[in-house]
Amino acid sequence: MTARGRGATIALACAGVFVAYLPVVTVTVSLPAIQQALGASTAQLSWVSDAFVLPVAALILTAGVFADVHGRKRVFQVGLALCAVGALVALCARSVEVLWVGQALAGAGAAALLPVTLALISHAVPDHRERGKYIGWWTTCMMAAMAVPPLFAGVLLEHVGWRWIFLLPVPVALLTMVFAARLLDESRAPGERRLDWPGQVTAALAITALIYGVIEGGAESFTHPRALAALAVAVVSAAAFVRVELRSKAPMLNLSLFRSPAFAASTLAAMISFLGLIGFFFVLSLYFGLVQQLTTLESGIRMVLVNVVSMFLGLVMGRVMRHVPARVLITVGLLVAAVALLCLTTVGPDTSFVSVAWRLALLGLGLGLAFPCITNIAVASVPPHWAGMAAAGNNAFRQVGGALGPALMGALLTVQAVGTLPGHLADAGLTGERARQITETADASGIGAVAGLDLGVDTERALGAMSEAFLDGLRLCLFVSATLLVLAALAAAVLLRRRRPATTAPAVANHPTSAGAVPQPALTTPQAARSSHPGRHDRAYNEPDQP
């Protein structure tokens, strides 16, 4: 590949991840406006976010394989088209159900873009040391996609309407498609790969059932028959997925990748941290809207601090990763983010902008240290021709965590807030029939529905009690999110310990497979990985420098 072609490939990959992540925070900061306009409950709001994230998690592995087989440029273009169409559907939505459809289409597009953009960078820059810089740029563009939309959405919500928050992805996706058609070279993974439909079906069923079970459990009860049935289907489907992948000759996700401590650590850290963080952003947007009564623009200015700090840090992380061990950066970054979340537990209805800002900037600092390393480790821990599968696998588990986040945190928030609301109403002097009316409304439609009640002279006291109950739920969510980040940091600290150098023969990353054999990913342990199928070549891939 020429220098010009490499530069174009990297630029388009960064543009692709920018398009993929545009809906994430755009919708999050707009949830209060969407709830008010469409009369959505807390559970329905969770589905507004999860309708995007769920297809990403369910389809990303298949998209990675499809790109390896049929061409990364082709899948890249399809992903951009789906993002544009999904945004147009959401733009025209007149009900929460149509909004779900638009979000789902955009999520399918993001599922195509996320693995293929990393695979394009890996193809353009085979050297993992040099590649770290460009993955830092990739992460910066991902953070930029979460930094720009809150301000864009805030201006539109104040002057036009909530539907227009979905406008931005349309021109950006279409322009990127035009440039990709002219500048992007087609590439495929070497070897024989094919689609794994049994793996796709079982994975999609497991992920969908798990998300549905968590949302229904939070909205109703985890002992409700629908929630129990969905969670049971999730467990059975997950077990079936593992069995299918172990027996498949062309697995969608080769489970031997997890024998690599580096890949296992990066994937586990990504999933756990996204579970805590995406759920945190979900409840934080509701805090700004329902408790502090801020406009979307004011909320966006506060939330953008996290992504701005992470974005600028990502510009230099490629150089930093050459000198500081990944284990240190990931562990310290996640612990800093956990401390920031714990600091946020003291916020109240009247917490000032400055008081919130430094805590959110600290959170951005922690994420900026950890996330580029997590992504780079996942891709660098496998041979270049398996980068697509590694990127898809890492992103799939990350998106599973991201999909569970709003569902889990929304459930915790609702249960805690509704449970403590009667006590706060009594403290405010509201008892009897009035208190029962408020409590039943919150239990049926979510704590935010209290703000829509016409309570006459009792309105101010009811809103004060609602705010205090919401803060109880927020603090619980913050403690859970911080705990999840600490667990992710411990996973990275334990699994990314430096191992002894290999004493066996040198690795051959691109050793050809035997005739007719289905290629398997080389394991990234220090020793040569022996194939589980007799008669195939023994291969190894040297693990990149990391602790």
> What confidence tens digit (pLDDT) does each residue in 230-277 have?
999 999 999 999 999 888 887 878 888 888 888 888 888 888 888 877
- Token pair 């459990």 is at which residue? 217
Cα 247 to Cα 418: distance, rounded to the nearest angstrom: 47
- Split at pLDDT 50, 70, 90, the class of 218 is low
At residue 539, φ and ψ (nearest 5 deg) are: -135, 165
Give the pLDDT of residue 530: 35
CA distances (Å), origin 390, targets 137, 321, 486: 19, 20, 24
Note the pLDDT tens digit of each residue in 52-108. Answer: 877 887 788 788 778 878 888 999 999 999 999 999 999 988 888 999 999 999 999
DSSP-assigned letter for residue 289: I
Instruction: Give 70's Cβ-side CA count (13 Å radius).
Output: 14
What backbone phi and psi angles, to 5 degrees, belong to 191?
A: 95, 180
pLDDT in tens, 116-164: 888 888 888 877 677 777 877 887 788 778 777 777 777 887 778 788 8
More confident position, 380 or 413: 413
CB atoms within 10 A of CB 240: 17
For 227, 272, 283, 408, the CA distances from 480, given in Å and listed in that order, are: 21, 11, 12, 10
Q: Burial level of 505, CB count in 10 A (0-12/13-18/19+)?
A: exposed
Q: 268 CB contacts (<8 Å, ≥6 apart)?
A: 397, 488, 491, 495
Residue that the structure tokens 């430094």 belong to: 358
pLDDT at 522: 38
pLDDT of residue 343: 94
* Gyration radius of the chain over CA positions: 23
Residues paired with 539 in a beta bridge: 529
Going by the DSSP 8-state scheme, the letter that residue 520 receives in this structure is -
The Cα–Cα gap between 349 and 494 comes to: 40
Q: What is the pLDDT of residue 475?
A: 92
Give the pLDDT score at 471.
Answer: 92
Q: What is the pLDDT of residues 419-467, one digit of tens each?
A: 898 898 888 888 888 888 888 888 777 677 777 777 778 888 888 888 8
> pLDDT tens for residues 276-332?
777 777 788 788 888 888 877 787 788 778 878 887 887 787 778 888 888 899 999
CA dist 118 and 455 (Å) reads 54
What pLDDT score was predicted for residue 501? 43
DSSP-based three-state secondary structure for 196: coil
101: buried, middle or exposed (CB in 10 Å: 19+, 13-18, 0-12)?
middle
pLDDT tens digits along 472-485: 999 999 999 899 89
Tokens representing 111 are 């599922």
CA nearest to 367, candidates 281, 445, 234, 277: 277
**Cβ 483 vs Cβ 345: under 8 Å:** no
pLDDT at 42: 66
Q: Helix, strand or coil for residue 513?
A: coil
Residue 234: what pLDDT? 92
1: nearest Cα among 63, 65, 72, 61:
72
- The answer on pLDDT for 1 being more than 60 is yes
- Mean local confidence (pLDDT), 25-32: 76
- Using DSSP's 3-state secondary structure scheme, residue 515 falls into coil
- Reading the block at residue 203, the tokens are 């994975």
Give the tokens for residue 176: 């990127």
DSSP code for 509:
T
179 or 306, higher pLDDT:
179
The pLDDT mean for the chain works out to 79
Identify the DSSP state of 545. S
Q: Between these two residues, 292 and 537, which has the higher pLDDT value?
A: 292
Q: Provide the pLDDT for residue 176.
A: 95
d(CA 503, CA 540): 12
Rounded mean pLDDT of 331-336?
A: 93
| Residue 328 token pair | 């240190």
Residue 6 in this model has a pLDDT that exceeds 50:
yes
**Per-residue b or e along 448-472, where b marks 16 or more CB atoms closer than 10 Å to that residue's CB:** bbbbebeeeebeebbbbbbbbbbbb
- At a CB cut-off of 8 Å and minimum separation 6, what does 371 contact? 139, 273, 310, 314, 333
CB 344 within 8 A of CB 362: no
DSSP of 134-190:
HHHHHHHHHHHHHHHHHHHHHHHHHHT-GGGGGSTHHHHHHHHHHHHHHHPPP---S
pLDDT tier at 40, thresholds 50, 70, 90:
confident
Task: Report phi then psi at 529, rounded to 5.
Answer: -90, 125
Calculate the CA dihedral of residues 475, 481, 486, 489 and round it to 10 degrees.
Answer: -150
Choose the most confident range, by mean pLDDT, from 21-25, 191-195, 198-202.
Answer: 198-202
CA nearest to 337, candidates 136, 547, 150, 481: 481
Between CA 494 and CA 69 the distance in angstroms is 35
For 506, the token pair is 């040198």
Contact 49, 286 (CB under 8 A): no
Q: How far apart are CA 529 and CA 537, in angstroms?
A: 10
Span 476-530, pLDDT tens digits: 999 998 998 998 899 888 888 755 443 333 343 333 333 333 333 333 333 333 3
